[in-house]
Every structure is written in C-alpha cells, then in structure tokens.
C-alpha cells in the first residue's frame, strides 16, 4: 500500500494545495492520501486571527472531498489531537504503527524541501518515508530541484527523493491569500466550497454581507454546504433553470439564484431539518416528519430567505421543488422541471421530458410529477399529498402527457 502524507497548516487550504495533492496521487499512484493539518507547526507561528482548529479541519475535509476519491483522500486529525508542536517524525512513527507495511511518501513544496535538513529529527523521518517534492512557482525548475536534492543527499544520504511536475502551478501562499481575503479578494484561489465556508463563517476578516452576495459568492456558499459530488447537479440545475426562464419569460436572475440554492441543505440530518423548520415556523406534516428527505426543499427555502435574503419568489420556488403543488407559478415550475431534467440526469424518459420542457412547461411538469408518483408506487413509498394535488390540478386544467 502506498500512502501519501500531505502536512501543512492549511490556513486556509488553497488551489495550490489541491493541485499538488492531485498530481501526487497520480504520479505516485497512491492508494491513500492523508491530509494532515498541523496543530502547532514547528517552523512557524500560527498568525493572529487563525480560525479555530475545527474550522481548519473542516476546510481540510472540503479539500479532501474535492478530490472526489472517498476512501483514498482523507484528513487525518493525528496532529490536531496531539498536544505540543506537530513534529512530522512523531506523526510518521504513529502512522507506521497504524500502517506497518505501507510505503509512505511525504509530500512537500519547494519551501519545505529546501529547509528539510533543518526539520526535527530528519533521519527518523527518512527511515519511515520517501520525499515527494514539487514546485510552487515558475522559478522552481528542474535545475533548482537537482541542486536542492544534491544538497540534501550530501547531508542525509539515506533520503529517497522523487520530484514530480505539477501540471497546473498555482502561485499563491496561504499568507498572501489571507491578506487578499481581508481586502474582500482572493476567492479565485480557493475551491468555491472553501471560499463559501470562509464567507459564511466570517473567517480571515471577510465580513461578507450574506444577504448581498454576488453570483460566484452565492455559488460558493451553496457548495460549502454540500458534498462535492452534488455540485455538478446544482450547477446543471442552475443553468437549466436560466435557459427555461429565458424560454418562458421568467426572471433569469431569480431562476439562477433558486437553482444555486435549491439543494443547499441536502446533507443536513433529520434533526437539523426539523430544527430549522421549527426555528422559522414552517409547519410539517406527519409524512415529512417520518421522511425528512422531503424536508430539504423547505429548509433550503429557509436558508434562501433568512440567511441569503432572497425574495419570496425564490423562497417559494425552492420550497416546492421536491413535492410540487397545485397551481404553481412559472418560476416554481421552472425549478421543478430544471431539477428533474438538467444535463446530468440520465434516467429513462429524460429525453422526452427535455423536449417537452421547451414546448409546453405544464406538460413537462405533469410528466415530472407522474414520474415521481410512479416511482413512489414502484418503491412502495407513500406519495406526498402536494404531489397528488399537483397532478390533479394539472389534469383538471386539461394538461396531459399523452401524444
């Protein structure tokens, strides 16, 4: 088993870290990548205003999640949980007990590689792991690494060194990024989910007004609340909703914002959903209490209205996007249908839904509703009364899916 160990303060993790992690997984053919946030880095002080360790841990977890390799990329809390300075030698000794037969590689950028000989107990580090070094900027070329490797081998001949190229160089450090964030800049150097997390928690002196976010910031906040694997669907829904709004004369900006936020509470627990509904006075019926999966539309609507200051139209569109209901507005229909047939959806019959959506929105809505009713019946699950009312209302108004 080959394990990569990527230590750092990750304060915050940025796209440079992510590019290095991706490249190392591929170049070393790693079976596992452990991202290891340091509690107290040996070589530098944590700067003032550093978020609590829980925040750094969550951001590191978002970085691991962004690699979309569950089981391969994960965060280790081994240093955050160990009191005192976070010496790599101690970390490797502990990991060796956990993975006695693993081949371990320590990942490090140029700055760390250049100063490795000064680290605490380098010999015991090298007895456990090889070094995988990579550049951080255009200046870090082959010649520089050859010199650094030569110097290191002179002092520590047992060193096993691999230098890997980074296909994408992201020339940024967390220090520079913290300065940018405090000035309201820097979002482009961060994974959106991490940028959103920073904005929502006001980290690094960002002070964003969540009720006045622009579109990239709103996306970032939404993505910060979900798993990375859901982001494609959310983006697909946003784009489909905007196209449908253009086709049916609805407000494109509202369609976009509803699309961005529609699934933002998808990963909350049942207890969390119910707590939000209680806080904002959203009544729940028996079925919703028993099947909290139905609740993400209601709690997503609450987030849209109360956290992000979205207008009633956006609130309502998100509120009804799972069950639908009788007599829906155009925007409500658009979000419901967009969510059903956005480009990443692949179920049988989706092509017909896509065609209908641009010919007759009501017929597309009815087809979506009837597909859900059928699916619930096939799975022996109860159908929500609002869905049945939507179906009845459309049929009463002469809408049909035939022909």
- Give Cβ neighbours of residue 285 (< 8 Å, ≥ 6 apart): 385
SS3 call for 395 = helix
Residues forming contacts to ligand ATP in the complex (CB under 6 A) are 8-11, 16-17, 20, 108-109, 111-112, 134, 136, 170, 172-175
User: 368-387 b/e with 16+ CB inside 10 Å = b?
Assistant: bbbbbbeeeeeeeeebbebb
Q: What is the phi/psi pair of residue 104, to 5°? A: -105, 140
List of E strands, 89-128: 103-109
Shortest reach from residue 181's CB to ligand ATP, in Å: 12
The DSSP bridge pattern shows strands 32-37 and 129-134 to be unpaired
Q: Is 136 or 235 the residue whose CB approaches ligand ATP more closely?
A: 136
Shortest reach from residue 364's CB to ligand ATP, in Å: 46
Shortest reach from residue 108's CB to ligand ATP, in Å: 4
Tokens 């179906």 map to which residue?
391
C-alpha 175: how far from its chain's center? Answer: 22
Q: Is 147 or 374 the residue whose CB approaches ligand ATP more closely?
A: 147
Residue 64 and residue 74 in contact, taking contact as beta carbons nearer than 8 Å: yes
Taking the C-alpha atoms of residue 275 and residue 219, their distance in angstroms, rounded to an integer, is 24
Q: Is 164 or 276 the residue whose CB approaches ligand ATP more closely?
A: 164
Q: Is 167 or 311 the residue whose CB approaches ligand ATP more closely?
A: 167
Q: Is 76 or 237 the residue whose CB approaches ligand ATP more closely?
A: 76
Shortest reach from residue 17's CB to ligand ATP, in Å: 5
Shortest reach from residue 295's CB to ligand ATP, in Å: 38
Taking the C-alpha atoms of residue 318 and residue 320, their distance in angstroms, rounded to an integer, is 6
Q: Is 43 or 229 the residue whose CB approaches ligand ATP more closely?
A: 43
Shortest reach from residue 230's CB to ligand ATP, in Å: 27
């Amino acid at each position: 088993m080959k394990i990569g160990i990527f230590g750092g303060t990750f304060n915050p993790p940025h796209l440079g870290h992510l590019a290095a992690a991706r490249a190392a997984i591929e170049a070393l053919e790693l079976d596992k990548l452990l991202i290891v946030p340091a509690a107290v880095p040996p070589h530098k002080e944590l700067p003032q205003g550093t978020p609590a360790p829980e925040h750094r841990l969550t951001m590191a977890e978002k970085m691991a999640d962004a690699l979309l390799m569950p089981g391969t990329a994960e965060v280790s809390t081994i240093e955050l949980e160990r009191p005192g300075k976070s010496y790599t030698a101690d970390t490797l000794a502990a990991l060796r007990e956990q993975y006695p037969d693993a081949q371990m590689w320590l990942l490090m950028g140029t700055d760390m590689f250049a100063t490795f000989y000064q680290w605490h107990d380098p010999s015991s580090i090298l007895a456990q792991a090889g070094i995988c070094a990579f550049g951080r900027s255009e200046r870090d070329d082959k010649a520089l690494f050859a010199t650094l490797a030569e110097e290191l081998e002179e002092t520590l001949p047992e060193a096993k060194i691999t230098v890997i190229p980074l296909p994408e160089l992201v020339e940024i450090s967390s220090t520079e990024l913290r300065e940018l964030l405090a000035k309201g800049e820097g979002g482009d150097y961060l994974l959106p989910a991490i940028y959103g997390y920073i904005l929502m928690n006001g980290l690094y002196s960002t002070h964003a007004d969540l009720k006045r976010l622009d579109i990239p910031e709103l996306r970032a906040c939404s993505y910060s609340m979900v798993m990375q694997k859901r982001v494609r669907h959310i983006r697909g829904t946003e784009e489909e909703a905007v196209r449908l709004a253009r086709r049916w004369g609805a407000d494109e900006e509202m369609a976009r914002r509803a699309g961005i936020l529609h699934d933002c509470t998808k990963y909350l627990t049942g207890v969390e959903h119910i707590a939000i509904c209680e806080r904002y006075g959203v009544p729940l019926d028996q079925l919703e209490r028993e099947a909290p999966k139905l609740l993400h539309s209601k709690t997503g609507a609450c987030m849209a209205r109360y956290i992000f200051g979205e207008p009633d139209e956006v609130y309502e569109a998100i509120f009804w996007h799972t069950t639908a209901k009788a007599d829906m507005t155009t925007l409500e229909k658009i979000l419901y249908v967009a969510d059903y047939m956005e480009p990443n959806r692949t179920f049988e019959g989706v092509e017909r839904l896509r065609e209908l959506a641009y010919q007759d929105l009501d017929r597309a809505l009815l087809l979506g509703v009837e597909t859900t009713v059928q699916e619930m019946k096939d799975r022996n699950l109860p159908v929500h009364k609002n869905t049945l009312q939507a179906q009845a209302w459309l049929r009463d108004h002469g809408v049909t899916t035939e022909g």
